[in-house]
């Protein structure tokens, strides 16, 4: 039997009901996961994978790749390549421009993750993350691999022609290609580079990536900026020469450090000299700010876009505005932005420009009038975007304990590399809870399998 994702989902839920507690409904509880992955996520798996059409994934990845290209072109289009002017347009302090001007160089390979909701109106982009500091790389492949090792799920996958794309494998190949530009053939040494102190704080969630990439042939080591040394122009970690740096140090972190420029200088110089490859330049930080989405959504940029680009933005991006604006165009009418936001609380969400893990986000439909008014006051000086809600379609999941079907809301993290589509992982919340995924929310994760057949 084959079919599109809706038919496969229905078949999966039917099997969960028929087979009882020993069947598919408890498959994710039986998985044999790598040790570090199990420690980080073993108790936080959704009770099933999600499904999408194989052709649908490729078409979406093609549109997201075009969106990435559009983002990368904005500094030149809007400010003729003037980084100071572009940073100012995004509301970034002057120091960002100084760091970026030093770090500016040839673009690295395509590497990004789009966070999306599947809505009644199609895929809608919540944010786009570019650069090497992407979370979730290990999840699609490890969940899928463990599920396929389960006899019951493997039988279901064969019956429905399911397949998956291994994100970890795609990233491992990208790192190996980068290493070949600076060292002879052999096993490259890759260092995941964090700022000082973050390995101790977030090591539980970093080691699964190390575990995953090592299983795929990449000697990934964990390092902080203060541990690096330079010998004959090449970065070293202890006595080991480092071929590739997988940068998890962000532009925000460097700008917040009193000696940020000095700390990153040896890394930039080794990259420029062809001694140690930096996978993505710091300039990718220009695309991570949610202020960029407001720039793309606002009418003032539209005349600089081609017809195809305007159609792409309209298709993917919900209406988004920067709260520093006093007036905004709403459905063709010019209106006071603050007045519109107050009157349409249930349709809007406020997000800080640099929000991570859901911090600082206020969803109007979950806030009281008083809470929303306070959030709008805090955001009025800028540093936030306001965006129309992209309400996700519910994903039905069979409860492993009760067998009851309940709805969950999923955020789809779609990865891109220079090979194209590189897999998807899921973060999900029960529909009865909040809709904004934060570090502390009861989120669940899982992988995505592709099936033949039509789109939803």
Give me the long-range contacts of 62-65 (CB less than 8 A, separation at least 24).
Answer: 62/420, 63/312, 63/315, 63/316, 64/112, 64/114, 64/128, 64/316, 64/414, 64/416, 65/110, 65/416, 65/420
Question: pTM here?
Answer: 0.94
221-235, 358-372, 429-443 — most confident range: 221-235
For the chain, what is the radius of gyration of the CA atoms?
Answer: 22
pLDDT-derived band at 281, boundaries 50, 70, 90: confident
HSE-CB for 287 with a 13 A CA cutoff? 25
Instruction: Report how far residue 324's alpha carbon sits from residue 302's, in angstroms, rounded to the nearest whole number.
Output: 19
| C-alpha separations of 303 from 62, 75, 117 in Å | 23, 15, 28
Can you give the length of the chain in residues? 456
Tokens of 424: 């998807």
E strand or H helix that includes residue 258? none
Q: Residue written as tokens 């998807």?
A: 424
67-86 pLDDT, tens digit each: 999 998 888 888 888 888 88
What average pLDDT does the structure give for the chain? 91
Q: State the pLDDT at residue 28.
A: 96
Q: State the pLDDT at residue 303.
A: 81
What mean pLDDT comes out for the span 135-152?
96
> By C-alpha distance, which of 64, 114, 123 is closest to 393?
123
Q: Indicate whether 285 pLDDT > 80.
A: no
> By C-alpha distance, which of 155, 168, 84 is closest to 422?
168
Alpha helices in 217-332 (DSSP H): 251-256, 260-272, 285-288, 291-297, 299-302, 307-316
Instruction: Report how far residue 374's alpha carbon sits from residue 309's, in angstroms, rounded to the nearest whole number.
Output: 36
What mean pLDDT comes out for the span 120-125?
96
List of residues 6+ apart from 308 with CB closer than 8 A: 66
What mean pLDDT comes out for the span 245-273?
91
Q: State the pLDDT at residue 355.
A: 60
What mean pLDDT comes out for the span 199-217?
94
HSE-CB for 38 with a 13 A CA cutoff? 9
What mean pLDDT comes out for the span 426-446?
78
């Amino acid at each position: 039997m084959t079919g599109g994702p809706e038919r496969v989902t229905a078949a999966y839920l039917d099997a969960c009901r028929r087979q009882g507690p020993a069947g598919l409904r408890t498959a994710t509880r039986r998985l044999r996961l790598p040790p570090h992955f199990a420690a980080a996520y073993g108790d936080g798996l959704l009770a099933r994978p999600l499904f999408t059409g194989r052709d649908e994934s490729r078409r979406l990845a093609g549109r997201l790749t075009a969106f990435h290209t559009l983002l990368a072109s904005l500094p030149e289009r809007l400010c003729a390549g003037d980084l100071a002017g572009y940073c100012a347009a995004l509301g970034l302090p002057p120091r960002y421009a100084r760091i970026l001007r030093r770090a500016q160089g040839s673009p690295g390979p395509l590497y990004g993750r789009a966070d999306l909701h599947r809505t009644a109106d199609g895929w809608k982009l919540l944010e786009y993350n570019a650069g090497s500091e992407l979370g979730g790389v290990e999840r699609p492949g490890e969940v899928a691999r463990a599920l396929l090792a389960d006899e019951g799920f493997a039988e279901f996958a064969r019956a429905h022609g399911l397949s998956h794309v291994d994100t970890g494998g795609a990233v491992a190949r990208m790192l190996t290609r980068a290493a070949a530009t600076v060292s002879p053939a052999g096993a490259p040494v890759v260092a995941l580079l964090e700022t000082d102190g973050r390995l101790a704080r977030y090591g539980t969630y970093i080691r699964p990536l190390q575990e995953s990439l090592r299983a795929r042939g990449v000697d990934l080591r964990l390092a902080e900026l203060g541990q690096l040394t330079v010998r004959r122009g090449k970065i070293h970690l202890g006595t080991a020469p480092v071929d590739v740096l997988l940068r998890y140090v962000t532009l925000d972190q460097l700008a917040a450090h009193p000696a940020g420029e000095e700390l990153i200088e040896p890394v930039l110089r080794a990259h420029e000299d062809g001694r140690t490859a930096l996978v993505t330049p710091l300039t990718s930080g220009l695309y991570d700010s949610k202020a960029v989405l407001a720039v793309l959504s606002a009418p003032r940029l539209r005349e600089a876009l081609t017809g195809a680009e305007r159609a792409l933005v309209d298709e993917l991006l919900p209406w988004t505005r920067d709260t520093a604006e006093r007036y905004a165009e709403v459905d063709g009418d010019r209106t006071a932005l603050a007045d519109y936001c107050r009157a349409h609380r249930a349709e809007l969400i406020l997000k800080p420009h640099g929000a991570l893990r859901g911090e600082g986000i206020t969803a109007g439909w979950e806030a009281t009038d008083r809470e929303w008014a306070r959030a709008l006051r805090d955001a009025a000086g800028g540093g936030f975007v306001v965006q129309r809600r992209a309400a996700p379609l519910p994903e039905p999941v069979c409860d492993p304990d009760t067998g009851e079907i309940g709805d969950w809301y999923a955020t789809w993290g779609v990865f891109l590399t220079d090979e194209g589509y590189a897999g998807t992982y899921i973060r999900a919340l029960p529909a009865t809870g909040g809709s904004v995924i934060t570090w502390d929310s009861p989120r669940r994760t899982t992988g995505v399998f592709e099936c033949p057949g039509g789109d939803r």
